[in-house]
Structure 1
């Protein structure tokens, strides 16, 4: 399990990346939004650099306050996208995905600030319900950046998206059954194993895609930062799954 410092280091890096993606996708005509995105990028970079220091209550409160404004900024962008009133190359679901992760970071900070007894079964199910659709979204979004002629890699990305969706359906149904019966058997452990194996395979796939783009062998416009970002999130998910098996 990651320490509080490692957790904040991970999440602040993810938020920083989101703003990098945003600034690169916004039209130069959207200068005010670019400036706001750059502000958040700088703030999360500072947090990332300070994450190895002693984590105080005041520090956590500052980060949570920043996240509230960060989420509102993303909501504003989605509103503009839904009204077709913004020049940006990212779709609304991509921005919505950023909000989901920012909210997860916020909830994680809340649990650090106010620790409480944890139901490990519920937390285990929640982990899958957060990260399986997230992983599916990552696999699907790769199709935006990999050229259509790269049929084999595109098909592999689609298979990962499909597999993650299937596991999410299982996690959701299993969570309902456990909630209704207050019972848990080996099915959750098996789900952990299935998810662990699938996310491990996805990490390998992303690493290969990243290297191919660095070497300029894979056709498309995928920035290496994008699979790198996805790898870090997948590794976080994998580490979290393994913590439930300890």
Structure 2
């Protein structure tokens, strides 16, 4: 029988290594022509995560746990390294030492995802698989902020003449900001309240909203790929944000299943 830690580790690495590789690509495309050192560093990270993806193909869900844990540790170091690179780029940008086409919030956004990836690998190597009640809320805070950011980026990267789509993106940004604030409120109430009913209701609300945003992203992606809307959005970036919404929905399903199991035990 497959070890759940092995299966989850391989799943996390498969998803997030591709995301990290694409982050490096997007950063490289946003630098100006004279920022050759930063572009070269980005290309090195593209190569690093491509090699990780190639090595991942050698593992299966029946692989030895210790070998997978060793791989997790190596990938953890790569995630920490790209996090450090992203924070360096953000610092240079905020101090006006470089001018790029990468929004500071976008650089912060992708550095948060690198930190999340590194932390997931660390938790898995510590044997932490099932989410705790604390993690349910905190992970939703993380992903709700990611979804809100995506809506803001889409709104800013669409051509201003795409008024209807720009308005839709702004509405999603507002909706996810409100869900984020609600999650923060729920987190502060949690020690004094009935956690399971509150969390179940909250997850259901999130699921509906994320599914709606996912569908909007899919439509935008398809229109961009077909050259039917005007924007500065790279087709791969459109697909990238769509996949992250899909990921959030999968995680909500995992949390719902975990909460259902906790209810049965009590």
TM-score (norm: length of structure 1): 0.94
Give the match's secondary structure for 1:245: helix
Q: Which residue of 2 aligns with 1:172?
A: 184
Within 5 Å, which residues of 2 pair with 1:1-246?
3-54=8-59, 56-116=68-128, 120-179=132-191, 181=192, 183-246=194-257
Number of aligned positions between the proteins: 245
Unpaired runs of 5+ residues, structure 2, are 60-66, 258-266
Contact 1:5/1:51 (CA < 8 Å) preserved in 2?
A: yes
Structure 1 residue 146 displacement after superposition:
0.6
Q: Distance in 1 between matches of 2:238 and 2:70?
A: 33
Q: Distance in 1 between matches of 2:140 and 2:171?
A: 18
Contact 1:5/1:53 (CA < 8 Å) preserved in 2?
A: no
**Quick check: 35-44 or 78-87, which moved more?**
78-87
Q: Distance in 2 between matches of 1:67 and 1:185?
A: 33
Contact 2:131/2:255 (CA < 8 Å) preserved in 1?
A: no
Give the match's secondary structure for 1:123: helix
Q: Classify 1:96/1:40 alpha carbon distance in 2 versus 1 (closer, same or farther; 3 Å).
A: same
Structure 1 residue 15 displacement after superposition:
0.4
Contact 1:9/1:48 (CA < 8 Å) preserved in 2?
A: yes
Q: Distance in 1 between matches of 2:230 and 2:91?
A: 33
TM-score (norm: length of structure 2): 0.87
Which whole-Å deviations, capped at 9, do the CAs of 1:16-69 have from their partners, x for residues lacking one? 110110111111100011000000011112212322433523222211112222
Q: Distance in 2 between matches of 1:65 and 1:3?
A: 18
Q: Distance in 2 between matches of 1:211 and 1:196?
A: 22
Q: Let me know the Cα RMSD of the aligned residues.
A: 1.7
Q: Distance in 2 between matches of 1:154 and 1:121?
A: 36
Which whole-Å deviations, capped at 9, do the CAs of 1:109-136 have from their partners, x for residues lacking one? 0011111475532111012110001100
Q: Classify 1:119/1:4 alpha carbon distance in 2 versus 1 (closer, same or farther; 3 Å).
A: closer
Contact 2:144/2:176 (CA < 8 Å) preserved in 1?
A: yes
Unpaired runs of 5+ residues, structure 1, are none
Give the match's secondary structure for 2:82: helix
Which contiguous aligned blocks of 4+ residues in structure 1 show a shift greater than 4 angstroms?
none
Q: Distance in 1 between matches of 2:175 and 2:190?
A: 22
Q: Classify 1:87/1:117 alpha carbon distance in 2 versus 1 (closer, same or farther; 3 Å).
A: closer
